[in-house]
Structure 1
């Protein structure tokens, strides 16, 4: 027997995800970033802070994004002056990614805005309950 939509975990997850994405997008709009731009900027900023200058493929893996889409979004971030790409001396076909001064100033503000949106969204569920579940759903093979 088929579940009603209100009892379907996938359908409920779909609606929860849509609501969360709307809240994150609303938090990022005043900063001039889309959600995916934020994710790629924040990942590049974090990696740069760890002393890494990833290429596009490494950034896509870190962010969990499609490589072609990552390339398109990086172009937009580059046009906004938030990231720069330089030829990798070890592989001239690849480009290393650097967050610019403007990107380094915006990234922590964007992270704070998203963390506030997350706190509002997840306030109904204790993090001790939510994090283990979300980790299992995000990485089922772990």
Structure 2
């Protein structure tokens, strides 16, 4: 049997392991921020992304929403359906493509996004606040890795 080898001295020198740990810590913070709003993180992301995309033009299709959010299209469809059932958004046929669905926030959805976004941005500010002036570089590095 061959013994494992690593070029790293341990997990604390592994960017992947450290990202994993940071992600878990951040997810705990997000769950706590979203709990009072009865939203999962993916629900929040899809609602907020709908709001952002709608601000720049017409309501997005579910496919465009999934692309922007980086979520699986089937999962996006399921979550969007649940959000529609809660009255937070509407789904309607796209006049340009009968197979596509347009997604739009309702008044209740918009109000919930406003409250939840405030809490999430506050939680983000506290979580990433320790980076200080390095925050901009960190955001740039994350954007680069995410493309």
Distance 1:105 1:37 in 2: 14
Give the unaligned 5+ runs of structure 2: 1-6
Q: 1: CA distance between counterparts of 2:60 and 2:14?
A: 39
Determine which of 65, 84, 87 is the counterpart of 1:81.
Answer: 87
Equivalence for 1:9? 15
- What SS is found at the alignment partner of 2:130? coil
1:19 aligns with 25
For 1:45 and 1:141, locate their aligned partners in 2 and report how far apart those are by CA, in whole Å: 21
CA distance 1:93–1:24, change in 2 (3 Å): same
Look up the match of 1:65.
71
TM-score by length of 2: 0.89
Structure with more relative contact order (C-alpha pairs < 8 Å, separation 6 or more) = 1
What TM-score results when the alignment is normalised by the length of structure 1? 0.91
Rate the CA distance shift 1:67–1:19 in 2: closer, same or farther, 3 A. Answer: same
Q: CA shift at 1:22, angstroms?
A: 0.6
Instruction: Flag the structure with larger Rg.
Output: 2
Looking at structure 1, the residues matched to 138 and 126 of structure 2 have their Cα atoms a distance apart, in angstroms, of: 18
Moved more, 99-108 or 131-140: 131-140
- Residue equivalent to 2:3: none
Which residue number in structure 1 is paired with residue 4 of structure 2? none
SS of 2:59 mapped into structure 1: coil
**Superimposed CA distance per residue, residues 27-80 of structure 1 (whole angstroms, 9 cap, x where no aligned partner):** 001001000000000010122222221111100111111111111111111111
Moved over 3 A (4+): none
Structure 1: gaps of 5 or more residues = none
Partner Cα distance (1:119, 1:49) in 2: 24
Query: In 2, Cα distance between the equivalents of 1:109 and 1:29?
Result: 12
Aligned length: 141
2:42 maps to 1:36: yes
